[in-house]
Amino acid sequence: MIALADALVGAWLLVRWTIEYPGTSRVTEPFGPRPQGLLVYTPDGHMSAVLQRPDRPPLSRADVHAVSDAEKAAAFDSYLHYAGRWHVEHGNVVHSVDYAMNPNLLGTIQVRSVSLDGGWLELGAEEALEAAGRTRRHRILWRRPSAASDATR
């Protein structure tokens, strides 16, 4: 049987990202029904995760410093990236964040539950909300790229 860490190494393409709100039937898709993304785990313990909306409009100006704060906020809201180190612990994958678009993620430890099924990977995470005692659950589905189907991406 292959070790979990060995099975995670390589590239994964984003298929779906949902957020479930326990105690309700509410489920959201932060980047819509067809999000885009890439997750990479290296054998030496580095990782990078990027997720985005597929329909992100270009900024109105080539110089990012010349666009409005509203445009910058919209770009920020439609994109997520962080990178750092990773390891497996108690059947979970643990991300130690060294780099992040959102500065609030810097220095955090992100624990993800793992479910592997062939070329499919589901990561899960519980997130505490600012309201006391409230949480939500992220479910992020990834798949291994296949040369034939991903050549035109």
Helix (H, G, I), strand (E, B) or coil at 150: helix
Classify residue 31 by burial, with Cβ atoms within 10 Å: 0-12, 13-18, 19+. buried
pLDDT score recorded for residue 153? 41
State how far the Cα of 127 lies from the Cα of 134, in Å rounded to an integer.
9
Kindly list the distances between the CA atom of residue 138 and the CA atoms of 28, 67, 96, 121, in Å, as whole numbers in the listed order: 10, 32, 18, 13
In angstroms, the CA 97 to CA 106 distance is 5
* Per-residue model confidence (pLDDT) at position 95: 98
The ranges assigned to domains in the chain are 4-150
DSSP labels, 17-78: EEEE-TTS--EE-TT-SS-EEEEEE-TTSEEEEEEE-TTPPPPSSSSGGGS-HHHHHHHHHT
pLDDT on residue 102: 95
Backbone angles phi, psi at 69, to 5 degrees: -60, -35
- C-alpha 150 chain-centroid distance: 19
- The dotted CATH code for 4-150 is 2.40.128.280
Give the model's pLDDT for residue 142: 98
Q: Which helix (H) or strand (E) holds 153?
A: none
In order along the chain (153 residues), what is the average pLDDT of each group of 10 residues?
88 97 90 97 98 94 93 94 97 98 96 96 90 86 78 43
pTM of the prediction?
0.89
pLDDT at 152: 42
